[in-house]
Amino acid sequence: MSFKEHLKGKDFLTLADYSQAELAYILELATTIKNKHKSGEIYQPLKGKTLGMIFQKSSTRTRVSFEAGIYQLGGTGLFLSSNDIQIGRGELISDTAKVLSSYLDGIMIRTFSHKDVEDLAENALVPVINGLTDDFHPCQVLADLQTIKEKKGRLEGLKLAYIGDGNNMANSLMIGCAKMGLDIAIAAPKDYQPKAEITELASSFANNTEVTVTEDPFEAVKNADIIYSDVWASMGYEQEQKEREKAFATYQVNTELFSYAHEDAIFMHCLPAHRGEEVTTEIIDGPKSVVFEEAENRLHAQKALMVALMG
280 is known to lie in a ligand binding site: no
What pLDDT digit, counting tens, does each position of 118-129 carry? 999 999 999 999
Specify the number of domains making up the chain.
2
Q: Do both 92 and 179 map to the same domain?
A: no
How high does pLDDT run on average in the chain?
96
**What is the mean pLDDT of the segment spanning 160-166?**
98
What is the C-alpha to C-alpha distance for residues 44 and 42, in angstroms, rounded to an integer? Answer: 6
Check the annotation: does 177 bind a ligand: no
Instruction: Please check whether residues 55 and 148 belong to one and the same domain.
Output: no
Does 19 lie in the same domain as 29?
A: yes
Q: HSE on the CB side for 183, CA within 13 Å?
A: 16
The more confident residue out of 200 and 3 is 200
Q: Residue 85 maps to which CATH number? A: 3.40.50.1370
- According to the model, what pLDDT value does residue 107 have? 98
pLDDT band (50, 70, 90) for residue 138: very high
Angle (CA) 49-51-55 rounded to 5° is 170
298 in a labelled binding site: yes
Q: How many CB atoms are closer than 10 A to CB 55? A: 21
User: What is the domain range of residue 285?
Assistant: 138-294
**pLDDT tens figures, 10-58:** 999 999 999 999 999 999 999 999 999 999 999 999 999 999 999 999 8
Q: Please give the positions annotated as active site.
A: 110, 137, 140, 230, 270, 298
d(CA 96, CA 124) in angstroms, rounded, equals: 8
Same domain, residue pair 118 and 154: no
The pLDDT score that the predictor gives to residue 9 is: 94
If asked whether residues 269 and 189 sit together in one domain, one would say yes
Q: What is the mean pLDDT of residues 290-295?
A: 98
Residue 2 has pLDDT above 70, yes or no: no
69 and 20 fall within a common domain: yes
Share of the chain above pLDDT 70, in %: 99
Amino acid at 204: S
Helix or strand (DSSP H, E) at 163:
strand 159-163
Query: Following DSSP, what letter does each residue of 76-142 receive, concatenated?
Result: EEEEEETTTSGGGGT--HHHHHHHHHTT-SEEEEE-S-HHHHHHHHHH-SS-EEEEE-SS--HHHHH
Neighbours of 104 (CB within 10 A): 22
**162 and 261 belong to one structural domain:** yes
pLDDT score of 237: 74
Average of per-residue pLDDT across 67-74: 98
pTM over 0.85: yes
Dist. CA 281–CA 130, nearest whole Å: 31
- Distance in angstroms (rounded) separating the CA atoms of residues 87 and 66: 21
Q: Where residue 282 falls among pLDDT bands split at 50, 70, 90?
A: very high
Residue 40 and residue 126 share a domain = yes
- Residues 263 and 124 occupy one common structural domain: no
174 shares its domain with 83: no
Whole-angstrom distance, CA of residue 195 vs CA of residue 218: 21
Cβ neighbors of 229 (< 8 A, separation 6 or more) are 162, 163, 164, 253, 267, 268, 269, 273, 278, 279
Please tell me the predicted confidence (pLDDT) of residue 238. Answer: 82
Instruction: Please name which of 128, 192, 197 lies closest in space to residue 162, comparing C-alpha atoms.
Output: 192
Q: 252: annotated binding-site residue?
A: no
Q: Which amino acid is at 176?
A: G
Same domain, 286 and 148: yes
Report how far residue 65's alpha carbon sits from residue 300's, in angstroms, rounded to the nearest whole number: 8
Residue 51 Cα to chain centre, angstroms: 19
**pLDDT for residue 85:** 87
Peptide bond into 194 cis (omega under 30): no
- Regarding whether 101 and 161 lie in a shared domain, the answer is no
Answer yes or no: are the C-beta atoms of 46 and 307 closer than 8 Å. yes
* 174 known ligand binder: no
Say whether 168 counts as a known binding-site residue. Answer: yes
